[in-house]
Amino acid sequence: MKITVLSLFPEILEAYFASSIMAKAIERGTMVAELVNIRDFATDRHRTCDDAPYGGGPGMVMKAEPLAAALDSVQSASAATEGMRTIYPTPSGRLFTQHDAERLAVEEHLLFICGRYEGIDQRIVDLYVDEELSIGDYVLSSGEIASLAIIDAVYRLIDGVIRSESLIEESHSAGLLEYPHYTRPEVFRGLKVPDVLLSGHHAEIKRWRSARMREKTKAVRPDLLAESERICDERSEEPNGRNQGN
Ligand code: ADE
């Protein structure tokens, strides 16, 4: 997958693409990353990228021309334009979920526009953007962090990026929150690892984990539990995703 990010502050993103699992995926060729500085496409002497909003009001709006020039340059340089999906992270977008991460993980090329100030000129949204996504009901000071959150949730699902077993039982993949994890030592500050996890009894461990998943979800996200049970009813499965009779 190729990921292109348009930003006024690409240095915020550089460290992420140069570190850890993403850096390894890029080295292996599973991922290609491209950071584009929107300011490089501003044509006036001051390389202006923002202006006051028509109609008045506080703050500044990111101008259409530098953004359009940056987007056109990415499109014309891209061999896989047909497969490119343009995403604008914004608090006024649709709420991004694990389901979106799974859907986007099969795309060939994702392009992210990082907004700043009050946002970008609406005509860029109208002309170029395929989807507006929000990462939560709160407002960040920039789109860079929101873009990284979406990128991180997406790229780790791509084949070969991380071990597929790690993805199977984690939070949200079965519509429920994940069970608690423990590693050595067996006793830490008087707190002991649950006996069942030391038992070696795989069926019991599975049952215990599944009960903890339901318990945690019921306590902190009852909305997810109701939805998971609804989907499982539809599929005549148990809420933890296993088929009945297994
Ligand atoms: N930009 C600022 N806040 C955001 C949010 N909550 N989601 C996506 N993009 C944003």
Please state the pTM of the whole predicted model: 0.90
**Residues 75-103, mean pLDDT to the nearest whole number:** 90
| Sign of the four-CA dihedral 126, 129, 134, 139 | negative
Q: What percent of the chain has pLDDT over 70?
A: 93
pLDDT at 228: 81
CA distance 164 to 156: 10
139 CA → ligand 1 middle, Å: 5
73-82 pLDDT, tens digit per residue, is: 999 988 655 6
Q: Is the peptide bond before 185 cis (omega within 30 degrees of 0)?
A: yes
Protein residue whose Cα sits closest to atom 6 of ligand 1: 91
Class of domain 2-155: alpha beta
Q: Which two structure tokens, joined as six digits, stand for 183?
A: 């590693």
Inter-residue contact 76 to 141 (CB < 8 Å): no
The residue to mutate among 100, 112, 135, 150, having the most atoms of ligand 1 within 8 angstroms of its beta carbon, is: 135
41 CA → ligand 1 middle, Å: 24
**Residues 78-100, mean pLDDT to the nearest whole number:** 89
Residues pairing with 7 in the sheet: 37
Domain extent listing, the chain: 2-155, 175-244
Name the residue among 186, 170, 139, 138 with its Cα closest to residue 240: 170
**Residues 197-206, mean pLDDT to the nearest whole number:** 98
Class of domain 175-244: mainly alpha
CA distance 152 to 147: 8
For tokens 């608690």, the residue is 180
**Residues 145-172, mean pLDDT to the nearest whole number:** 88
The residue to mutate among 9, 138, 140, having the most atoms of ligand 1 within 8 angstroms of its beta carbon, is: 140
Q: For residue 143, give the ligand 1 atom closest to its CA.
A: 1
pLDDT at 242: 43
The confidence band for 121, taking pLDDT boundaries of 50, 70 and 90, is very high
